[in-house]
Amino acid sequence: MIDIHTHILPMVDDGPATVEDAIEMCKIAVNDGIKKMIATPHVGNGLYTIDASVIQEKVRMMNRLLSQEGLDLVIFPGAEVHMNDQLLNTEILKTSDFLTLNGNKKYVLLEFSFHLIPPETERIIFLLKSRGFIPVLPHIERNSRVQKNPTIVERFVELGAIIQVTAQSITGDFGRAPKKCAHWMLYNNLVQVIASDAHSPAGRPPILSRAVKIAIDMIGEESAMKTVWDYPKMILEGMPLEQCKKFWKKKEVI
């Protein structure tokens, strides 16, 4: 499996506080069957200051350690970019490799609020798309407004955003509301990617398999595996993703 959303780099954001914790997380990922992951530290949210060179250096360091430990896992650079007005000036994205996933100047992981849907969201998606980028919206099922009215997500998909749901939402680790919302989106074929959004070895580990098992029961093995292998691989390589078959199996489970 490929995990495109992880806070795996030590001492850069609210991910692991030590190198040892980061390695422990990598061991958990390997045991879970994850072969590749993109490190996506928070960028531009006002809490953490980190630039491209630091991300690149930390990724190199982690890959060296993984090799020394004999762990079959490769980490790629990326970022979780805070969604704000600055993104309306996409020149910033053209000049900073790390802001896109694997520096491919294609996919941008946009940090999505847990409570608000910023009014400029649709405009940012549209503008990014028109400049050749593809926005990926992470953990949208954890947003309280989306939980109340999940059909909002259909509009973002129509505009060309890729929807990433967090594994622990599917399993119910974050409670009932995100679980129901994530399941509704899975049933309605609105989820292209399941990722871990891992932050720590214990509370938020890089584990995808439990969510995949549930997804297989809900949407079948072929569709479920696309969310952790085919689509993440295309995102990693900067290839265009096939548009999901929109709303083909609408079930009102909420």
The footprint of Fe ion (CB under 5 A) covers: 80, 197
- Contacts of residue 254, defined as CB under 8 A and 6 or more positions apart, other chains included, come to 150, 180, 181, 184
The C-alpha atoms of residue 206 and residue 209 are separated, in whole angstroms, by 10
Query: Shortest distance, CB of residue 44 to Fe ion, whole angstroms?
Result: 13
Q: Which is nearer to Fe ion, 4 or 219 (CB)?
A: 4
The C-alpha atoms of residue 144 and residue 116 are separated, in whole angstroms, by 8
Query: Shortest distance, CB of residue 68 to Fe ion, whole angstroms?
Result: 27
Token pair 């890959």 in the structure block, residue: 63
Q: What is the dihedral of CA 161, 164, 65, 239, to 10 degrees?
A: -40
Residue nearest to Fe ion (CB): 197
Query: Shortest distance, CB of residue 70 to Fe ion, whole angstroms?
Result: 28
Query: Shortest distance, CB of residue 199 to Fe ion, whole angstroms?
Result: 7
Q: Which is nearer to Fe ion, 103 or 206 (CB)?
A: 206
Q: Which is nearer to Fe ion, 136 or 185 (CB)?
A: 136
Q: Which is nearer to Fe ion, 48 or 229 (CB)?
A: 48
Token pair 């990326």 in the structure block, residue: 78
